[in-house]
Structure 1
Amino acid sequence: MTPFERRTRRVQSRLDDDDRLALSPGRSLYYLSGVDADPSDRLTLLLVPGEGDPTFVVPALEADGIRAATWVADVRPWRDGTGPDRVLDPLFGSLSPSRVFLADRMWATVSLDLRERLPEARFDLASEVLTPLRRRKDDRELDALRAAAEAADATMRDVRALGADAVGRTEADLASFVAERLESHGGTGVAFETIVAAGANGADPHHASGDRVIGAGDPVVLDFGTRVDGYVSDQTRTVVFDGDPPAAFADVHSVVREAGVAAVEAVEPGAVTGAVDRAARSVIESAGYGERFVHRTGHGVGLDVHEAPDVVAGGEVTLEPGMVFSVEPGIYLPDRFGVRIEDLVVVTEDGCERLNRTDRGWRC
């Protein structure tokens, strides 16, 4: 049994016999089938029953590639000249599901068509059955996440090695350097748009790398990641490449670093996500910067850059071995600078393992 089939059978154990899971292209479809497809105007749909084998409905021109990529044996192609109705009509004509769980990010055109075909069914989100499974990673997933984290670590070491040579580069130029090094260290592309935020731009947590030139003494927030076998890395460091940083920067950096340590120490099976957030936030609040910590402490990471569980104030998700999430406290001072330090951690049987191990200091 492949890992993909094993996951599908686990999902089915959470469904009633007359339930159906309907997935369009996306990370959840890959999670169960092994098919990495992008949404398009041509319908691709995976139907998973509560009992029995799943069915793929796919464009004919992609059928051979999908058959080669998946363990699912029942692949039903449709042709452009006739459209998918000739496949869907007999398939849905034999269905009378009580509930249909739709992919959370399914195109509205597809979900509305399914609602018209199954007017008596109750419709819910696929995350209701998938999230409890996806947030606990198996050994294969953890291996991929570790490899992606190592590619990010190696890239950060390359970035630090630039030292004073980074001064005079633009943010966008350094972001391109990061992308090239991620690929060279075994990653596949960037997992999200790389953030290089110099000086006052660092006070924007989601700054888009632009044409600002990095100067001596500028704090630079670097947030980046890559993919390995579909799984992502996500690491942030805040550094100064050369010169003296602004007043208070070293103290703020120390507070953020201490908050990250406190949060990681709070990670263990049985703890709740809110306690991890509280551990980081209390350090920052005690230092007088509570209002400048403007986001959650972390988010789950896997096939998606942001997935369950959220490590957020008041979070009530109980931590279990195999959960992977970011720990990324930050302080953002408008018109001055920002500091964020982010590592990924995996919950273990007796605590946690950091997946990122590079220097967290600010001096290059």
Structure 2
Amino acid sequence: MKPPFETRIAACQDRLAAAGADLTVCFPSPNLTYLTGFAESPSERHLLLFVPARGDPALVAPAMYGAELSDLPIEDLHLRYWTDSDDPLEVVETVLEADLLGGTDPATVLVDDRMWATFTQDLRELLPDAEFGLASTVLEPLRIRKDEVELAALRRAGELADRVSLAIRERGDELLGMTEAELAAEIDRLLAADGGEEPAFETIVASGPNGARPHHHGGSREIESGDPVVLDFGAFVAADLEAGTGLYPGDQTRTIVVGEPPAEYERVHDTVREAQRAAIDAVEPGVTAGSIDRAARSVIEDAGYGDAFVHRTGHGVGLEVHEPPYIAAGNDRELEPGMVFSVEPGIYLEDEFGIRIEDLVAVTEDGAERLNETPRGWETGQ
């Protein structure tokens, strides 16, 4: 399979031209990984990708990365290295003078949305007459629609989360007496043992009244018989690329009970499950992200729990666990094939329990594909 990075850079250049922009500059971030397959954490060193609307891209990087960067599967990428005895700004200036801006005056330069201020300031000093904007102008419309390589990785991440979810559910009574922290650690162990690169986020195990906190941090509370337990977890898996990298997350939530649940629990659980079903049934190209939130929220409001649904219905996933599109009230962005996002309605009853059910879905040409297929009921031990 040919790595997709040259195709992505060409699409970025088309977007730049259409937007009337001359250049986009990325630093270590998901944008850099998306365009090149190179992943690195930000640091004080200048590591900058320059993608012009016309001409070949260039990457300025510390020489210590030479081995990794020489393997990037991008034929026309110009690599410009500097050592710790060099002034990296001189290298950056040389790259900018190589007609990357196409002779436009003033130039329009789009910088990575998360670029540290120090690097943005360097660019402003080197290009005092340029107009600056954000790289998301051109990159968000590209990243929001997943290609087949990305979709395949997200499906595998969903399957991994499914297997671990089933393994935990089947333990039944064995979960009693475990602390939230112990169960979270066990979930992380199972994810890693089954091929996960690393947890996609801090695994949530929230038992009993702690479940009423949507982002509870697991602690020393022991799981007791009859406790509703919210389990929210996933792991990154590597995309199937010949060269370069790309990690994509799973993200699944189930709420289970060992023993007999509280009196109101089954009604609330059924409501959340129906809200999720209504939202996923509403997914198709052309509808808005806000309408999916409305489909879920109306079910919960009709059941009398509207004030207990305290967050948006979902978020996009890709190289990041949270990215556009956001499935939230008032979001008029229309859904397109290839978008992938969570659908995770919840009801949270303070001092009692919480319930959330979450799956990832991909927008298809005529509807939605669920990327998770485990049972959504609350029963355990089966």
Deviation, 1:70, is 4.2
5+ residue gaps, structure 1: none
Kindly report the root-mean-square deviation, in angstroms, between the aligned alpha carbons of the 2 structures: 1.4
Deviates more, 1:6-15 or 1:86-95: 86-95
1:76 aligns to 2:80 (yes or no): yes
Structure 2 distance, partners of 1:214, 1:234, is 22
1:57 aligns to 2:60 (yes or no): yes
Structure with larger RCO (C-alpha < 8 A, sep 6+): 2
Structure 2 distance, partners of 1:154, 1:254, is 23
Query: Number of aligned pairs?
Result: 363
Aligned positions of 1:321-332 closer than 5 A: 321-332=337-348
Q: Which amino acid aligns with 2:146?
A: K
Structure 2 distance, partners of 1:324, 1:69, is 27
Q: 1:157 aligns with which of 161, 166, 177?
A: 166
Residues 21 and 110, structure 2, Cα contact 8 Å, conserved in 1: no
1:8 aligns to 2:16 (yes or no): no
1:119 aligns to 2:128 (yes or no): yes
* Runs of 4+ that moved beyond 3 A: 93-97
1:41 aligns to 2:50 (yes or no): no
Aligned positions of 1:1-364 closer than 5 A: 2-16=3-17, 19-71=22-74, 73-94=77-98, 96=101, 98-229=107-238, 230-240=247-257, 242-364=258-380
Query: For 1:4-63, what per-residue CA distance to the aligned partner results, in whole angstroms no more than 9, with x for missing partners?
Result: 110110010011376111000111101000101111122211000001111010011112
Query: For 1:137-176, what per-residue CA distance to the aligned partner results, in whole angstroms no more than 9, with x for missing partners?
Result: 1111110000000000001011112211111111111111
5+ residue gaps, structure 2: 239-246
Structure 2 distance, partners of 1:43, 1:337, is 48
- Work out the percentage of aligned pairs sharing the same amino acid: 54
Deviation, 1:104, is 1.1
Structure 1 distance, partners of 2:59, 2:291, is 42
TM-score by length of 2: 0.92
Structure 2 distance, partners of 1:301, 1:292, is 25
Query: For 1:261-308, what per-residue CA distance to the aligned partner results, in whole angstroms no more than 9, with x for missing partners?
Result: 000000011111111111100000001111111111111111110111
Deviation, 1:178, is 0.8
Residues 35 and 70, structure 1, Cα contact 8 Å, conserved in 2: no
Deviates more, 1:120-129 or 1:253-262: 120-129
